[in-house]
Amino acid sequence: MDRREVLKLSPIALASTVGYVAKAESPKAGDAKVLFDVRSYGATGDGKTVDTPAVNRAIEAVAAAGGGTLVFPAGTYVCFTIRLKSNVEIYLSRGCVVLAADSPQPGEATGYRGGTYDPAGPAQAWEQYQDYGHNHWANSLFYGEGLEDVSIVGPGMIWGRGLSHGSKPGTIRGAGNKSFTAEQAGVGNKAIALKNCHNVLLRDFSILKGGHFALLATGVDNLTIDNLLIDTDRDGFDIDCCRNVRVSNCTVNSPWDDAICPKSSFALGYARPTDNVTIANCFVSGTYELGSVIAGTWKKFADDAHVPRNGRIKCGTESNGGFRNIAITNCVCEGSKGISLETSDGAWLEDVAISNITLRDTVDAPLFLRLNARNRGPKETMRPGTLRRVMISNVVSHNSASSTASIFSGIPENAIEDVKLSNCYFGHHGLPKDALIGWGESSKPMPDWKTIEVPELVDGYPELLRFGPTPANGFFIRHLKHLEMSHVEIAPETTDARPAFWLEDVERADFFAITAPVQPNFALRKVSDLRILWSRAAKDANVAAVENQTL
């Protein structure tokens, strides 16, 4: 019987299969496949007792024995910070809940039964370059730093009920939430935080309400995240300054923030890239009420609920070190923002393949590629960023919003380079002349597309909707060199007078077999070396250079 089969067994069956430590005793040196029971070290799992001291004693014992698997039998284990160790595997049995104890309320020194989470740690000079949560790891439910060969596996659940989600005090988001101030001493704000680790496995468990981050992994190499179910009130996975990462078969519902988010921040005190990342076979969403995905009820927010419905896959916005070799494939995105590649802080973002993606009910636009110069980092480290060699294929998007098109935009002095799209369908609402854009009382008529001026936002936060409405209904493309689109369809559900494509400061663009409703579909501003062939969207054209023309 191999190790994976062993871990599917109950603790009773495990005891008859391998050496199962039922008492707080050390195994013999060299003993293989020894399993430890956390209750043997005093953990109760009664849902009332603070089990943190017992859990940490058990982890220390497993580490001292040379490593092994610490089993959490069924029960509810109320805990503050659990300190992971090298060569220790945490196994969460079916029916096991690790419950984050309530953090101190604003103005209070302690939380549940006088407990607190580990201190966040001293402030560093470079904290100004990231949000507070990215700079601290110890103030978490599970915490590990400088570790190797560590894992959390099993079908149990981590419930971050007592964690801060980093929003204003008083913000309640359901699923038993209270509200805690993220920066306050003693407060925990992450379900799992790992720093400078390698050989890490996270598999099969679920996280309900993960705090500011269900997982914050910073400087973690050889990281496998597989078959996790995340139903949370902020970010799902933040994969920051990591190398050799595999995210597969995961479900992430994160209405208030991003679902799967590779980053390359300055949180380690230096710029470190995020390289060799595969995101495959995942479902991400921002449309379901907190807790309903884990409960299996899949209850959607009401149409008029003021929820951002983020839930997307995004590289950035923290982008100091760079991103190289990123593959996103076989993923489904529902009721969320689209897929975003964003580099704003001098990072390289290169060699990205996005394929076999289904998007439904996207709340902004399916795709966003952004290269700008926010330059949030030490001045001496700043350099012009890059966004180049991006291949996007086999994407189907249905029922997305319409006021802002998909945007590919560099800045005047720094263009995106080498982007290819093929075999894609983009269906959106469409905007008739009398359409209103915006929310509720703040909504206003959509302006005539010919009068729309899209801001550059050179040093701004890279967010698609900050550009406002676009004068194109399919793609707004600006400051880009070398673009190819083939077998791409733009399909508004209602009449939309805006052209399908707006190209501005674009050098060398090829469009082949493009479909869109019959009307002028290519608005050209300072475009050179353009070819349109075999397309229903426009007649064949070969343009050497043009300042202002619509085809």
Domain ranges of the chain: 74-308, 312-551
Strands 541-550 and 522-533: antiparallel
Give per-residue pLDDT as tens, 504-551.
999 999 999 999 999 999 999 999 999 999 999 999 999 999 999 999
Give per-residue pLDDT as tens, 361-409.
999 999 999 999 999 999 998 999 999 999 999 999 999 999 999 999 9
Q: What does the pLDDT read at residue 132?
A: 84
Q: What does the pLDDT read at residue 19?
A: 43
Contacting residues for 298 by C-beta, under 8 A, at least 6 apart: 288, 292
Taking residues 481-494, report their average pLDDT: 98
Token pair listed for 143: 């915490």
10-14, 206-210, 247-251, 304-308: range with lowest mean pLDDT? 10-14
Give per-residue pLDDT as tens, 453-471.
999 999 999 999 999 999 9
Q: Examine the pLDDT at 5 and tell me if it is beyond 60.
A: no
**Residue 269 in contact with residue 247, Cβ under 8 Å?**
no
Q: Examine the pLDDT at 259 and tell me if it is beyond 90.
A: yes
140 three-class SS = coil
Q: What does the pLDDT read at residue 547?
A: 98
Band of pLDDT at residue 444, cut at 50, 70 and 90: confident
Q: What does the pLDDT read at residue 170?
A: 55
Q: What does the pLDDT read at residue 23?
A: 45
Q: Examine the pLDDT at 169 and tell me if it is beyond 80.
A: no
Give per-residue pLDDT as tens, 406-441.
999 999 999 999 999 999 999 999 998 778 777 655
493 three-class SS = coil
Band of pLDDT at residue 306, cut at 50, 70 and 90: confident
Task: Dump the DSSP string for 251-315.
Answer: EEE-TTS-SEEEEB-STTSS---EEEEEEES-EEES-B-TTHHHHT--PBPPTT--------BEE
Angle (CA) 77 167 207, round 5°: 30
Taking residues 9-27, report their average pLDDT: 43
Give per-residue pLDDT as tens, 109-168.
999 999 999 999 998 999 999 888 899 999 999 999 999 999 999 999 999 999 998 866
Q: What does the pLDDT read at residue 463?
A: 96
Q: Examine the pLDDT at 305 and tell me if it is beyond 80.
A: yes
Q: Examine the pLDDT at 341 and tell me if it is beyond 60.
A: yes
Q: How does the average pLDDT of the chain come out, rounded? A: 92
Q: What does the pLDDT read at residue 304?
A: 86
Q: What does the pLDDT read at residue 174?
A: 65
What is the architecture of the domain spanning 74-308? 3 Solenoid (2.160)
**Residue 349 in contact with residue 387, Cβ under 8 Å?**
yes
Does the reported pTM lie above 0.75? yes
Give per-residue pLDDT as tens, 36-47.
999 999 999 999
Distance CA 512, CA 540 (A): 9
